[in-house]
Structure 1
């Protein structure tokens, strides 16, 4: 087993953090490009939002494929090959002849991008001892958020220079070089033992999780919250690209630096939960997200940025505790229970445009705020129900 802070630990952790960074750069690089792509292809806001939705949807379902598959054939080959193919998809996106081909490539890319997140932590569980695992997972999750921020900044900056094609080419080249480095750094498994995939067992575990009201509530809470949070960022790009702000793609990319407050929220979640209980902290995070949305209604760009910063803190506070709730209350097969949480999480993200688009057409950003508050009221009620459940399990 690889021990914490050893040379092998640093090498493996660096490889997995690099892989995570590349995955989320590819996933989120198109987000600040949406206003430009909308004009370039002559599609609606809902249509262009499918560029994000279709990739997160295919990523969600790929988690259910690559996780069980890795138990049978090994993990590092899945991570290496899917990361390389994701980079090739980004290069292909730069030459997409029409919007339909762009969506098809994003569908394929989203599926490939699920390969590494589906198995990375399982790989660490196989190869690292417990202290090494805990240290590495924290760094790995941090790389997730940095990749999301970096992808939007790189995408927006390169689009200002050479349009969306330049953004996709840059991300593709970075991913190919990063994939080669990842391939070289990641050690081959030494502790992995293949197990035959049994469909009936996997299906029984998934159905069991879905029949648990406590787990299903956490899945719904995480998915609906992410539906609102991530799609607010898509619609805010349309608002800020229009008058009176008229921000360029590079400036829209910088807006996503507000995500950094989410890192603080997730870091503090354990401390808050120790004082208030996990369910109360979920409620607190949702209320903060609702208040941040209220602040974004201001006309001042500074206040809009402040509101987004508040939103990120509240969302990641609730998200961290909802995901840990699943691990705490799952009755066996915790790996598939956590995978289901991520499926709901990314499916929620993919459906957000369909929910918020009518509100956007009705009243612009104010309509988006109302649409957000309606669903956040639902997740607040779910969190309240989990709080009522908590005392019976303490």
Structure 2
């Protein structure tokens, strides 16, 4: 098993973090372009939001395929080839002749982008010692935030310079170069034990995970938190593009630098858990998320950015803890257990627009804040359940 901060640990963590960064560059590059795409194609905020939703929904579906499949054939090949396909599809998006074709390509891209997230944490569970895994997950999820930032900054900046085609072309080229580095860095797996893939066994594993209250609670927590977090960013672009802010695509992309709060939160999560239990860390993250959401009600751009930064910090502390909780408490079939967490996570992202849109139409951003608090109140309650429940199923602190 790979020990924390050994040479092999650094190499593997760097490879997986790079892969994570590439996934999220591709997934989120279109987000700062949504106001312009809405105007260019004459569609509503809900319809243009499908550019993000179809990708996250197909990514969620892919996790149900790649997670169990990786338990049978291994993790590394899935990560390498799906990243390569994602880069090729970004180049194809640059040539999309219509909004409908764009959505189809995003659907396909979302599916292949599910390959690495479905198996990366399971790969760590196979290869790393427990302490090494906790530290690596924090850095890996920190790379999620950097990828989200990079995709939006590149998408917004290149979109303003040369339109969406230039944005997708740039992202595609970055991805292909990154895949070559990832391919070389990822060390060979030594702790993986293949299981013969059987549909009946795979379904039994999924039922077992869903029947475990310690896992199901983490699944719900991750999905509901992400439902709010990622879709807040979509609606904040509409708010910031309108008066009194009137920001263009480049500046809208820079709003996502507030994701650096998430990079800090996920990176610190490994240290926080040395002093607090994982459920206590999740609870703290959600409370910070709720506070940041209130701060975004301000009419000051500085305060809005501060609120978004707090949101990112709190969300990624909770997410890091919930995802590693699943990896530690899945008794078997870690690939499908981790994949199922991400199914809930990305399904939440894809459904968020349907939850937030009515509140946005009624009360604008104040409605989004209200809808956010309603859901975050539920996830805060879930963390209370986990805090009182020990892994052996007994009640206690």
In structure 1, list runs of 5 or more residues that go unmatched. none
1:56-97 CA-to-partner distances (Å, cap 9, x unmatched) read 111112122112223333333222221111111111111212
**Offset of 1:334 from its aligned partner?**
3.9
1:134-183 CA-to-partner distances (Å, cap 9, x unmatched) read 66544433322211111111111101110111101110111122223333
1:27-60 CA-to-partner distances (Å, cap 9, x unmatched) read 1111111111111111111111111111111111
Q: Secondary structure at the match of 1:372?
A: helix
Quote the residue 1:107 is aligned against: 107
How many matched pairs? 394
Q: Secondary structure at the match of 1:246?
A: coil
Q: Relative to structure 1, is the Cα distance of residues 274 and 180 closer, same or farther in structure 2, using a 3 angstrom cutoff?
A: closer
Quote the residue 1:26 is aligned against: 26
Quote the residue 2:41 is aligned against: 41
For 1:15 and 1:383, the matched residues in 2 are separated by: 32
Q: Please, what is the CA RMSD of the aligned residues?
A: 2.6
Q: Secondary structure at the match of 1:258?
A: helix
**Offset of 1:113 from its aligned partner?**
0.7
For 1:4 and 1:264, the matched residues in 2 are separated by: 20
TM-score, with length taken from structure 1 = 0.90
Q: Secondary structure at the match of 1:298?
A: coil
Q: Relative to structure 1, is the Cα distance of residues 98 and 147 closer, same or farther in structure 2, using a 3 angstrom cutoff?
A: same
Q: Relative to structure 1, is the Cα distance of residues 383 and 132 closer, same or farther in structure 2, using a 3 angstrom cutoff?
A: closer
Quote the residue 2:146 is aligned against: 146
For 1:306 and 1:83, the matched residues in 2 are separated by: 33
Q: Secondary structure at the match of 2:395?
A: helix
Quote the residue 1:290 is aligned against: 290
**Offset of 1:193 from its aligned partner?**
5.0
**Does the alignment pair 1:307 with 2:310?**
no
Which stretch shifts more, 307-316 or 10-19? 10-19
**Offset of 1:306 from its aligned partner?**
0.8
For 1:164 and 1:25, the matched residues in 2 are separated by: 14
Q: Secondary structure at the match of 2:298?
A: coil
In structure 2, list runs of 5 or more residues that go unmatched. none
Indicate conservation of the 8 Å contact 2:221/2:322, yes or no: yes
Q: Secondary structure at the match of 2:49?
A: helix
Quote the residue 2:81 is aligned against: 81
For 2:8 and 2:212, the matched residues in 1 are separated by: 40
**Offset of 1:128 from its aligned partner?**
6.0
Q: Relative to structure 1, is the Cα distance of residues 162 and 67 closer, same or farther in structure 2, using a 3 angstrom cutoff?
A: same
TM-score, with length taken from structure 2 = 0.90
Q: Relative to structure 1, is the Cα distance of residues 284 and 120 closer, same or farther in structure 2, using a 3 angstrom cutoff?
A: closer
Q: Relative to structure 1, is the Cα distance of residues 160 and 57 closer, same or farther in structure 2, using a 3 angstrom cutoff?
A: same
